Amino acid sequence: MPLLIVAIGVALLVFLITVVKLNTFLSLVITSFIVALMLQIPVAKIPLSIETGIGGQLGHLAIIFGFGSMLGKLVSDSGGGYRIAHTLIEKFGKRHIQIAVVLAAFIVGLALFFEVGLVVLLPIIFVIARELDLPLMYLGIPMAATLNVTHAFLPPHPAPTAISGILHAPLGQVLLIGIVVSIPTIIVAGPLFNMFLHKVYPKVYRRNIDISTLGKFKEFEIEDTPGFGISALTSMMPVILIALATIMSFILPATNPINEGIQFVGAPDAAMLISLVFAIYTMGLARNKKMQEISESMVTAIKQIAMMLLIIGGGGAFKQVLMDGGIAKYISDIFTNMNMSPLIAAWIVAALLRVSLGSATVASLTAAGLVAPLVASSGASPVLMVLAVGAGSVFADHVNDAGFWMIKEYFGLTLKETFLSWTTLTSVLSVTGLLSVLAVSMFM
């Protein structure tokens, strides 16, 4: 019955958005109230649950999104994004540009959350697509698939790192074997799925689209743009600071004063603030721009993402009522006495939680706690169990997750197009990840 309620809630949300044409944020909030009532959450606690969901989601993302969009806007308005795109095109050419996108997304994805990586990379991908006269989706799919894979499988991302601790798996082995699993998963869910989708659903591969969250496209003369080095450094500054903090957390003691300072500047909020201040100088003041012009760019950036932030908050409200309604416990009870391969069982539990709750991180951490006894009782490799849970945690991304709405808004898709492209992609990615884990298990 609880899973049926989840299905009814999703169907209601789709109906409100696509048939009634109601605002997406309002639809999410209305659906959250109705689903909360169906799950028998006490009426007095429903508003608090929704507030907690919205606040929890935006509390994590609002500063990162705000500063990230400002940074991206400054790089874009100065021509820095154009310079990066121009250089990548020169080095890789149109034929191999997907390889460049995958490599960039993999490097960025090792240090950043999926959502943050998307904010950092998308303005550059947008310019590359414009310059090569390619559909944004052609480059967006391998980029987003790669970011999602690193988010699911590879430490130092919070979910795989935390799962490794819960299942007592050596972090170094998780990283190394995770990279092995990631390679075929990225190839299948990125370039190969891209080719397949382009054949069966070509309408999402639109050229020269204007996306409100990215602003209007500006033309530049290459000699009027900042250098490639400073443009790349400015764009990648958040990645560099966060990656440095992650690496040092494994090398230096937690109480070391130097490490404490590095962890401070490498915390996502601080890293984005420092990077934004750096961008104000390199992409603004150093190029003889007035502070008023720089400030106008930053204000415009916030205006462009305002509605998207509300939609993401609404997705958090939906997720929270599902959690408070006991969906996770219901799923754990289903698998208590079921006999099957522990790797497949771990994947199924994580996948069900992901579909029901939305958050990949919540799904993976909850699933890890539920399947931990299987590691001891079955003798399964803790490393492979971590990766199986990670694969399941990204299955079928849909309306109760922030990433779904980001893809929809950033790529200018309709709800139906997002389901058919992005939800399908994450399903392919998840299943391919599981098959890759099962293949590796034959040699361990």
Res 241 pLDDT > 80: yes
| Rounded Cα–Cα distance for residues 67 and 267 (Å) | 14
Rounded CA separation 387/402 (Å) = 22
Q: Is residue 390 a contact partner of residue 152, using CB atoms and an 8 Å limit?
A: yes
**Residue 113: what pLDDT?**
65
Confidence of residue 214 (pLDDT cuts 50, 70, 90): low
Alpha carbon of residue 390 to chain centroid: 14
Residue 41 has pLDDT above 90, yes or no: yes
In this prediction, residue 62 has a pLDDT band, given cuts at 50, 70 and 90, of: confident
Residue 328: which pLDDT band, with cuts at 50, 70 and 90? low
List, for residues 345-392, the tens digit of each pLDDT value.
889 988 987 887 677 776 777 677 677 777 777 778 899 999 999 999
Rounded average pLDDT over 194-201: 93
Average pLDDT of span 174-183: 88
Would you state the pLDDT for residue 435? Answer: 96
Higher pLDDT, 193 or 13: 193
Split at pLDDT 50, 70, 90, the class of 329 is: low
**For residue 159, what pLDDT band results from cuts at 50, 70 and 90?**
confident
pLDDT of 122 above 70: yes
Task: Output 155 or 336, whichever has higher pLDDT.
Answer: 155
Is the pLDDT at 14 greater than 80? The verdict is no
The dihedral of CA 225, 70, 286, 236: what is its sign? negative
> What pLDDT does residue 93 have?
82
Q: What is the rounded average pLDDT of the residues 198-224? A: 74
Asked whether residue 333 carries a pLDDT value surpassing 70, the answer given is: no
Decide if 331 contacts 297 (C-beta within 8 A): no
Q: Give the CB-side neighbour count of residue 405, counting CA atoms within 13 A.
A: 27
Share of the chain above pLDDT 70, in %: 90
Q: Summarize pLDDT for 379-412 with one digit per residue, the tens.
A: 788 999 999 999 999 999 888 787 888 888 888 8
Residue 210 is predicted with a pLDDT of 62
Residue 207: pLDDT over 70: yes
Tell me the C-alpha distance between 391 and 397, whole Å.
12
Supply the angle between the helices 171-187 and 382-392 in degrees, to the nearest 10: 40
Spatial separation of the C-alpha atoms in residues 37 and 14, rounded to whole Å: 19
The three-state secondary structure class of 15 is helix
Q: What is the mean pLDDT of the chain?
A: 83
Reported as a pLDDT band with limits 50, 70 and 90, residue 321 is: confident
Pick from 102, 107, 113: nearest CA to 152: 113
Q: What pLDDT is attached to residue 72?
A: 78
pLDDT at 426: 95
* Statement: residue 126 has pLDDT above 90: no
Question: Highest mean pLDDT range out of 57-61, 89-93, 249-253?
Answer: 249-253
pLDDT beyond 60 at 216: no
Per this entry, what is the length of the chain? 444
In the block, tokens 């760019």 appear at: 297
Distance between CA atoms of 156 and 164, rounded to whole angstroms? 11
Cβ proximity of 121 and 148 under 8 Å: no
Domain boundaries, the chain: 2-442
Q: 24-38, 156-170, 420-434: lowest mean pLDDT where?
A: 156-170
Confidence band for 332, pLDDT divided at 50, 70 and 90: low
Q: Which of 63-72, 145-154, 186-195, 327-336 has the lowest mean pLDDT?
A: 327-336
pLDDT mean over 289-317: 84
pLDDT band at 208 (very low <50, low <70, confident <90, very high): low
